[in-house]
Amino acid sequence: MTKPMTMSQKILAYHAGKEYVEPGDLIFANVDLVLGNDVTTPVAIKEFEKIGIDRVFDKDKIAIVPDHFTPNKDIKSAQQCKMVREFAKKYEITNYFEVGEMGIEHALLPEKGLVVPGDLVIGADSHTCTYGALGAFSTGIGSTDMACAMATGKCWFKVPEAIKFILYGKKTGWTSGKDIILHIIGMIGVDGALYKSMEYTGEGLKSLSMDDRFTIANMAIEAGAKNGIFEVDEKTIEYVKQHSTKPYKIFKADEDAEYSQVFEIDISKIRPTVAFPHLPENTKTIDEITEKIYIDQVVIGSCTNGRIEDLRIAAKILKGRKVKKGLRCIIFPTTQNIYKQALKEGLIEIFIDAGCVVSTPTCGPCLGGHMGILADGEKALATTNRNFVGRMGHPNSEVYLSSPAIAAASAVLGYIGSPEELGMKGDDE
């Protein structure tokens, strides 16, 4: 009889052709999708060419999304994108998404139906862990591993231990998936799940939309995790049916599976949360912020929080209001489809009328790339995922992390605050 396994163990075992794997095992497994972007793919291309083969393992199972420094911010980024474009054309990569049809990779791939439950996905980007929201095992890898996977369709893995997060209760007020994951990282620290799988289950999942789950899975890496993964439920299946025709396989953890830690979290008690510089673990609830922290810039977007629900929440707060004089508010819809939906719903008009900048999908300032770099001494509040020293620009700048609700309210207030300060209650009240 097979020993009990977690969700992640089962997916890895299945793709390695084994009945059982345990934490610490080194395995070689078949992958369902290999991902790269305009920063990491050029390095992978150079390594791929050294292998000396004239084809990729499967042109349908490679996705390349130029999203970091696009539209090209300078000559160097233009050269990077040119290399990627030519590689995609030479090897007839099906899922190459040019500027104009692309989006931020971790929002685009699920939208395009390229990831489904049970998949094993690797990407040369650390936030590849986002797809765990769909019940897939997805993790970031280096460019050399991407090169080998493009050639062979395989990658090596060290099977991770797992931490179980049992969520119960229901979201209240302005609390979102971003607040839940910031709460968790604040609780366990940025190395609290080091090389472990963060596995989410419990009745509380019913309160979480798919957009909430993508956000939570996305920031597994900020807790040091190998991956984050959600138990598949009706919401997952509904999303997959809307976006994909790929067959899928559901892996459910055995009841007696072993975990290194188990946390039970009542999400009804989680308040909107802000991560202070310079680590995502430096968290305070909005109620614990006693001083007024004045800010120069607000960023709403990124692979963490630029989906349609995020934009709707921001628009609800910004409607009929103005961005504080002297403050910049930049909004990044994460895909062209999300941009179009926001246009149809009148959200873009609300943003522009409020005095916001609305950008084409791009990672932009999240990694200090372009479209919103901070100057010496400036402070930003962002819905992004990292706030390390110099992350969004000058080493002497500061980045605070929050949900779209807090970000939008702060853009109006001019300092870090809540929609409640604008007289707005949450959707549940």
Q: CA-to-CA distance for 242 and 249, rounded, in angstroms?
A: 16
What is the per-residue pLDDT for 70? 85
Q: Which helix (H) or strand (E) covers residue 344, if one does?
A: helix 336-344
Q: What is the CATH number for 20? A: 3.30.499.10
Please write the tens of the pLDDT for every residue from 270-299: 999 999 999 999 999 999 999 999 999 999
Please write the tens of the pLDDT for every residue from 179-233: 999 999 999 999 999 999 999 999 999 999 999 999 999 999 999 999 999 999 9
What is the per-residue pLDDT for 427? 58
Tell whether 1 is covered by a domain: no
Q: Three-class SS of residue 63?
A: strand
The phi, psi pair for 166, rounded to 5°, reads: -95, 110
The phi, psi pair for 227, rounded to 5°, reads: -160, 165
Tell whether 428 is covered by a domain: no
Whether 250 and 127 share a structural domain: yes
Tell whether 208 is covered by a domain: yes
Whether 132 and 253 share a structural domain: yes
Whether 161 and 240 share a structural domain: yes
**How many Cα atoms occupy the beta-carbon half-sphere of 258 within 13 Å?**
8
Query: Cβ neighbours of residue 3 under 8 Å, at least 6 residues apart?
Result: 20, 22
Range(s) of the domain holding residue 377: 273-422
Tell whether 287 is covered by a domain: yes
Q: CA separation (Å) from 363 to 67, 112, 133, 342, 371?
A: 6, 18, 20, 18, 9
Tell whether 20 is covered by a domain: yes
Last residue of a domain, one of 266, 282, 298: 266
Q: CA-to-CA distance for 350 and 345, rounded, in angstroms?
A: 10
Q: Binding site annotation covers 303? A: yes
Residue 277, preceding bond cis, omega within 30 degrees?
no
Whether 239 and 304 share a structural domain: no
Whether 240 and 311 share a structural domain: no
What is the per-residue pLDDT for 9? 97
Whether 282 and 256 share a structural domain: no
Whether 80 and 31 share a structural domain: yes
Last residue of a domain, one of 215, 236, 266: 266
pLDDT truncated to tens, each residue of the chain (429 aa)? 579 999 999 999 999 999 999 999 999 999 999 999 999 999 999 999 999 999 999 999 999 999 898 898 999 999 999 999 999 999 999 999 998 888 999 999 999 999 999 999 999 999 999 999 999 999 999 999 999 999 999 999 999 999 999 999 999 999 999 999 999 999 999 999 999 999 999 999 999 999 999 999 999 999 999 999 999 999 999 999 999 999 999 999 999 999 999 999 999 999 999 999 999 999 999 999 999 999 999 999 999 999 999 999 999 999 999 999 999 999 999 999 999 999 999 999 999 999 999 999 988 887 888 888 999 999 999 999 888 878 888 999 999 999 999 999 999 999 999 999 898 887 544
> Per the structure, how many domains does the chain have?
2
Tell whether 429 is covered by a domain: no
Whether 140 and 286 share a structural domain: no
Whether 223 and 290 share a structural domain: no
Whether 231 and 319 share a structural domain: no
Last residue of a domain, one of 236, 266, 296: 266
Whether 146 and 294 share a structural domain: no
Strands 120-123, 33-37: pairing kind: parallel
Whether 50 and 121 share a structural domain: yes
What is the per-residue pLDDT for 1? 59
The token pair that represents 52 in the structure block: 């000396």
Tell whether 4 is covered by a domain: no
Please write the tens of the pLDDT for every residue from 155-175: 999 999 999 999 999 999 999
Tell whether 2 is covered by a domain: no
